[in-house]
Chains A and B, each alone.
Chain A
Amino acid sequence: MRWITLLWRIGTVALAIGLALLVAWLIPSSAEYPYRMSRHIEPEQYMTGGLEAYSPQNGLQISVNATDEVRVYLLGVSSLELDNWKTLLREAYPDSESPDSESPDWVRPDMEIFIEFYTVPLLFFHEAYPEETHLSLNDSQTWDMMWDVAVLDKGLQTHPEIILWDPPPGSAFSHELFPADVLNIMAVVANPSSNTVEVDVEIKEVLAVAPKDRIIFPAQLLISIGIGLTIVWLVSRSKGKFEKALSDRG
């Protein structure tokens, strides 16, 4: 009987934890701060959107609509890794030209800012063309090489660990993602076709107590175990009472 009582208490604790997870699951999440971007992507080129920090309680909702088939990725990089890559790029391009070297300093976009905003594409470019040590951002050929789909593919092959979402190619996408750690996440849309494609991207920040897809299964499992063990205890208790009543009568 003691073992049954112990199992019952384990069951009620499991039930309590399961209910807590259920409550966390039921607390509504809110999608805020929409970031929209409409662009056309040249044939065999790709574009990136945003590089923001997200956490397990602060995910993102992305929707992409394109006029033709495109490839979409969500890439996630830790702050530490991102800092390492920035250092590597600063060392790789020490004396690169800014887009308009003839302009006065105050209108000249700084290479440092470029590295800050385009760390991942620049790293992919550096890895694809390691011999290019003098980066000229005002050269359209360099620019086209940098945003080439082949550069993206090579970069993704080298760093498959940063791919958080890689759906099959299509023209309409929608996805919600909560990273398993604090990560800097960026959206990538690639146009592998030979036609120019118009793309609309919308990214929203989703605030939640917990990632719903990760807690619903444990909640269901724990509640089921809890109910199961409680039923075993109830049956055993009623059986005991019934037997006692019978012996009292006898």
Chain B
Amino acid sequence: MRKGRPFLEIFTYALDEDYRFPILEIFAFLFALGTFVFADFAGGYDRTGETMAYSLVNTLCEFPLMFIFVVLILKNVAYGLGGDLDRGVMQTLFSYPLKRRHILTARLLSGLGIAVLLFLGIQIFGLFLLAPDTLATYSSTVFLTYAAHLCSPALLLAGLLLLLTLRLKRGGLALIIGVILFLAGLIFSGEVTYIAYATDSDVILKVWAVINPNTALQAYYYETGVSLFASESWAPSFSEVLLYLGAGYLIVAVLFIVGYIYFDRRLEI
């Protein structure tokens, strides 16, 4: 049997489990309609160019749409993978002539890869219909903003939940913890700027920007536009923003590598 065949078998199985009809369709509908309903150009009126493009994408990656997206990937990672561990399906998957890490890759490719493709594909298609000139002119800003939002909360939470699910071998609890972490992050994001003001120090902002690179991006873009809250006290340069984004992805990578190592060597079934 060729090596690709069992991988494809597991990938198809995971796809079937993660996106039972009509889950994929409901999420696609919500992402598509949400792109038009939640797009907000009003924030961009006083701003120009890149800041406006950032502001627009930011509105599409905030609470309702990002929450729906995070729920989808957390469901796939925690509930899908956790369900396989809980119900003993993983034992069957281990009988395939595949390394453990390839089994996990097939599972994550379905749970995370397809969800990210769906979310980004639909939103960029919606933006192309809505504001083609903005998308064409400021494509790098659009890409950077999506990269920051995908890093945290989406991939960061997915990595954390992967570890939790593998440790607990149950998806339900991990899913609840993931949702709580998402909401806690949302609340803290709002508070962190006030804390920076109250303490008259931007250290907390910088620490938070490592975990959530969008904070650095926000400080960078709004500094040149309409001044907003803490960005007045901290205005990173573009290379610093890239550094924070890189640091954010490094944390995500470490979480996934630890998850892979645990799954490969320590997971006992």
Residues of A whose CB lies within 8 Å of any CB of B are 2, 9, 12-13, 15-17, 19-21, 23-24, 53, 55-58, 78-80, 83, 179-182, 209-211, 214-215, 218
Q: Which residues of chain A come closer than 8 Å to B97, judged between CB atoms?
A: none
Are A56 and B28 in touch, CB under 8 angstroms?
Answer: no
Asked if residues B137 and A181 are in contact (CB atoms below 8 Å), the reply is: yes
Rank and list the top 3 A-B pairs by shortest CB-CB distance, nearest first.
A20-B32, A55-B41, A181-B133
Q: Which of A16, A53, A57, A180 contacts B25 (CB 8 A)?
A: A16
Q: Within B116-172, which residues are at the interface with A (CB < 8 Å)?
A: 118, 122, 125, 129-134, 137
Closest to B44 in A: A182
New contact pairs (18) apart from A16-B25, A17-B125, A56-B41, CB-CB < 8 Å: A9-B24, A12-B24, A15-B25, A20-B30, A20-B33, A20-B36, A55-B41, A55-B42, A58-B41, A80-B49, A180-B133, A182-B44, A182-B45, A182-B52, A209-B36, A210-B36, A211-B129, A214-B130
Interface size on B, residues (CB 8 A): 34
**Which of chain B's residues have a CB closer than 8 A to the CB of A79?**
47-48
Q: Does B198 contact A (CB under 8 A)?
A: no
- Using CB atoms, name the residue of chain B closest to A80: B48
- The A interface, classified by DSSP as helix, strand, loop or mixed, is helix
Closest beta carbon of chain A to B50's beta carbon, Å: 10
A56 — which chain B residues lie within 8 A by C-beta?
A: 39, 41, 130-131
Interface: B269 (CB within 8 A): no
| Residue in A closest to B8 when the chains form the complex, CB atoms | A2
Indicate if the CB atoms of A53 and B12 lie closer than 8 Å: no
Pair A16/B45 contact, Cβ less than 8 Å = no
Q: A-contacting residues of B (Cβ < 8 Å)? A: 12, 19, 21-22, 24-26, 28-33, 36-37, 39, 41-42, 44-45, 47-49, 52, 118, 122, 125, 129-134, 137
B41 touches A182 (CB 8 A): yes
A16 touches B32 (CB 8 A): yes
Contact with B130, one of A15, A16, A20, A211 (Cβ below 8 angstroms): A211
Q: Are A17 and B132 neighbours in the complex by a CB distance under 8 Å? A: no
Q: Can you sample 8 A-B contacts with CB below 8 Å?
A: A13-B25, A56-B41, A56-B131, A58-B41, A58-B42, A182-B134, A210-B36, A218-B129
State the main secondary structure of chain B at its contact with A: helix
Cβ–Cβ contact B39 & A57, under 8 A: yes
User: How many Å from the CB of B9 to the closest CB on chain A?
Assistant: 10
Name A210's contact: one of B31, B129, B132 (CB within 8 Å).
Answer: B129
Q: How far is the CA of A16 from the CA of B42 in the complex (A)?
A: 28
Q: For B33, B125, B133, which residue has the most chain A Cβ atoms within 10 angstroms?
A: B33
Determine whether the beta carbon of B25 is less than 8 Å from that of A12. yes
**Chain B residues in 8 Å Cβ range of A215:** 36, 129
Which among A13, A23, A57, A83 is the interface contact of B48 at CB below 8 angstroms? Answer: A83
Q: How far is the CA of A180 from the CA of B49 in the complex (A)?
A: 13
CA–CA, A23 and B32, complex, Å: 10
Q: Is the CB of A181 within 8 A of B131?
A: yes
- In the complex, the answer to whether B33 meets A13 with C-beta atoms within 8 Å is no
Of all chain B residues, which has the CB nearest A79?
B48
Q: Are A12 and B44 in contact (CB under 8 A)?
A: no
- Cβ A12 vs Cβ B21 within 8 A: yes
Assembled-state Cα–Cα distance A43/B84 (Å)? 81
Contacts of A19 in B (CB 8 A): 29
- Nearest B-chain residue to A76, judged by Cβ: B133
Interface centre among B24, B29, B49 (most CB of A within 10 A): B29
Q: Judging by beta carbons under 8 Å apart, are B130 and A210 in contact?
A: yes
Which A residues are in CB contact (< 8 Å) with B37? 24, 209
Contact A17 B28 (CB under 8 A): yes
Which one, B26, B41, B131, B133, contacts A16 given CB within 8 A?
B26
Tell whether, in the assembled complex, residue A53 and residue B45 are in contact, meaning their CB atoms are under 8 Å apart: yes
For residue B194, give the distance in angstroms from its CB to the closest CB of chain A.
30
Residues A55 and B44 in contact, CB atoms below 8 Å apart: yes
Once A12-B21, A180-B132, A181-B137 are accepted as A-B contacts, the answer to whether A17 and B29 lie under 8 Å apart by CB is yes
C-alpha spacing A209/B26, complex, angstroms: 20
Docked Cα-Cα span, A24 to B129, in Å, equals 12
